[in-house]
Structure 1
Amino acid sequence: MSSASILVETDARGRANLSKFGKNARFLAREDENGTVILERAVVMTETEARFHRNPEAVAAVDSFIADESDVVTREI
């Protein structure tokens, strides 16, 4: 995405079209003290996934398993 400024206007109901930033996208929005609105792309995940990502040992174990090709089984079709 380029860093060029894009004018975003709200309609009479306060809605803004953000399609230039991504179709079917989710964002977390926050407003700084000076009124700057900051949008960050967001994903939705289950509580179980969030708990997994907060556990560095579990993440490292999965990464290690994925990187280890010694257990790869090749099957002929």
Structure 2
Amino acid sequence: MAGKHSVSLCFMTVPEFCTWARIGRTKTYEEIKAGKLRAFKVGRKTLIDVRDAGKWADEQPDLILWRTPEEVFGMESPDGA
């Protein structure tokens, strides 16, 4: 049962992001280091919010994505839609 303070958040790991964005791990970490892609650590994992992934993708002129992160990984949309 969802309480009044429940929050729905969706995150991707770096390997999941690489699969979705069709870029390599090294390029992903370069984008993070350059500040073009926001990520944070939880323990040993680096996580990327799907909303930040979408914003990053919108800024890539040559990137063609056929599906959203939610469609690729079966996640619920962060906005609850």
| TM-score interval, normalised by the smaller of the two chains | under 0.3
Q: Which has the higher relative contact order, 1 or 2, with Cα contacts under 8 A spaced 6 or more apart?
A: 2
So what's the TM-score if we normalise by structure 1?
A: 0.22
So what's the TM-score if we normalise by structure 2?
A: 0.21
Bigger proportion of residues as helix: 2
